[in-house]
Amino acid sequence: MSNKVKLISESTLQDVEYITEENKNGTKDYKIKGIFMQADIKNKNGRVYPMEILNKEVNRYNKEFIQEKRAYGELGHPEGPTVNLERASHMITALYQDGKNFIGEAKILATPMGKIVKTLMDEGAKLGVSSRGMGSLEEKDGKNYVRDDFYLATAADIVSDPSAPSAFVEGIMEGREWVWSHGALMEAELVEMKERINTKIRKKQALEQNLEFAKFLKLL
């Protein structure tokens, strides 16, 4: 089985800017801009994203998702690594490095969840963003370093949690591990269960084949 990884979520509320642009037809475009991720900085849970690892993932995310206009995020804290389009509230349109920070921009969509975000923005609610990824950690000198198996699932979900200075950690979801199975992320427990079932099926099939072969030999 592939190496197990866990869901890692990091939230920032600092320096997230609201942008509204009026269109000629009277409608408004809603956007957010701010620090989406940070590298080489120990956050409140003692986790560090090395610049080399985070920069590599941001480049991949830009190429595979943002440039292809499929970099979506959700409202709230999803429990899994994949983006549920039914809950999509915004599309990330830019993600670039600025020192140790990665600045992101996102356009709020006219989806049910996006409309909730727009209403919250109009009412002056304080919102932030939370990146979501998969990976494992290596502990060194009292810090948990994100390893090079890190996979960025989305640069930003929209959240309302209170912030800490710069960034705080939502934390690894304890008790839930994920593995890559045939190109898709699946819960490790489900994959292991499937493998156990497949093993039992193979053993049963082998036993049945041996019995059939034994019957055949008796007929000779």
Q: CA–CA separation, 5 vs 77, rounded Å?
A: 18
Mark 34-67 as b/e (b = at least 16 C-beta within 10 Å).
Answer: bbbbbbeebbebebbbebebbeebbeebbeebbe
Our answer to whether residue 77 is catalytic in this structure is yes
Is there a contact between 19 and 135 (Cβ–Cβ < 8 Å)?
no
**Residue 195 CB partners (closer than 8 Å, separation 6+):** 1
Q: How many Cβ atoms sit within 10 Å of the Cβ of residue 97?
A: 15
Residues contacting residue 199 through CB under 8 Å, at least 6 positions apart: none
State whether the Cα torsion 12-18-19-22 is positive or negative.
positive
Residue closest to 92 by CA, chosen among 11, 157, 139, 38: 157
Catalytic residue among 77, 160, 163, 181: 77
| 130 catalytically annotated | yes
Q: Active-site residue among 89, 130, 131, 136?
A: 130
Give the separation between CA 122 and CA 162, rounded to whole angstroms: 19
Please identify every residue annotated as catalytic.
Answer: 77, 130
